[in-house]
Amino acid sequence: AKEAGRARMTLYDPAMDADREERNALELDLRVAIESGDLTLAYQPLIDASTHEMNGVEALVRWNRPGHGPVSPEVFIPIAETSGLIEALGLFVLRKACETAKQWPELRVAVNVSPGQFRNPAFTDYVRYVLKQTEIEAQRVTLEITEGYMIQNPQRTRQSIERLKTLGVKIALDDFGSGFSSIGYLRQFGFDRIKIDRSLVEGVTESDSQREMLQATVALARSLDIPVTAEGIETEEQALAVRLFGCDCLQGYFFSKPVPADRITEMLEARRAL
Ligand code: C2E
Ligand code: CA
Ligand code: CA
Ligand code: CA
């Protein structure tokens, strides 16, 4: 009887209708937000592991949904992906980040690129267009991509990365260690940097096995002779550990949460005044 009940549930479930309605409403609001420029960017400092100075920022999109408050990008990016909004959203983020970072000549700027953008054959063209329009030095721009799409389309991924690199931008592999990539396989893509996923950093001071796991993952990334960033650093112990393991760049709440652009400008001004 229980099984039958469950089977019927999958045929009609009013809660699913409510979910769908909420999703549609969210999608509509997101469309409006993109069109009317209501998305903003926060910037999280990237810290040089040896000097402990900020040498870059990662741009992270923010949406304050009217009547609801802030919505996490982990919620609305996947919706943008499946509803055809990711292109407009991605273009906004890239342009805004480059425009803003133009005033921070001492910093590099990392921008997240989702599979839906990366898959678009015109992506390289629009990166070229934004670089030209904003007049930012291409070497200061890093595009961060995750491994999900690469595994499905290794050939096309390699070609896209090659094309993008001819523009002068850098390419980083984001969230390394959260999936299942084999390192030999990653070698072919020519990444300029690898970012170790927060989930590996989290438990590093809790158990030896988690510490070993992190150390092994960093060592694996470094075996490609690529610089490695550790993200999600929340404590001094974590910062010390990842530095010891060989990460040259650190990112996390321990140093700074993502902040508005003005805050970054203030930090740079304070530093220049020293
Ligand atoms: P991500 O690229 O891995 O970005 C890092 C996330 O970790 C950010 O969450 C950041 O606020 C958070 N974080 C940084 N330091 C710490 C820390 O010490 N502790 C903890 N607990 N969290 C930390 P956020 O901004 O909510 O973004 C979540 C994800 O959404 C990003 O993960 C990225 O995959 C995606 N995303 C954000 N902005 C964009 C964007 O502009 N375009 C695209 N395509 N995706 C974006
Ligand atoms: Ca990222
Ligand atoms: Ca990441
Ligand atoms: Ca992530």
pLDDT in tens, 15-73: 778 888 999 999 999 999 999 989 999 999 999 999 999 999 999 999 999 999 999 99
The overall longest dimension of the chain from CA atoms, in Å, is: 74
Ligand in closest contact with the CA of 196: 3
Backbone φ and ψ for 135, nearest 5 degrees, come out as 60, 30
Residue 2: pLDDT above 80?
no
Ligand 3 mean position, distance from CA 176 (Å): 8
Return the residue whose CA atom lies nearest to atom 41 of ligand 1. 61
Output the pTM of the full model.
0.93
Q: What is the mean pLDDT of residues 196-214?
A: 92
Looking at residue 203, the DSSP 8-state letter turns out to be T
Token pair 């045929």 in the structure block, residue: 11
Ligand 1 atom at shortest distance from the alpha carbon of 253: 18
Spatial CA neighbour of 252 closest among 241, 236, 268:
236
Shortest-distance Cα residue to atom 8 of ligand 1: 60
What is this model's ipTM? 0.98
Ligand nearest to the CA of 60: 1
* 31 neighbors 86 (Cβ within 8 angstroms): no
Which atom of ligand 1 has the smallest separation from the CA of 73? 30
**253 CB within 6 A, ligand 1:** yes
CA of 146 from ligand 3 middle (Å) equals 8
Model confidence pLDDT, tens digit, residues 209-239: 999 999 999 999 999 999 999 999 999 999 9
Residues 6 or more apart whose CB falls under 8 angstroms from that of 135 comprise 102
Q: Which residue type, as a one-letter code, is found at position 192?
A: D
DSSP string, 35-79: HTT-EEEEEEEEEETTT--EEEEEEEEEEEETTTEEE-HHHHHHH
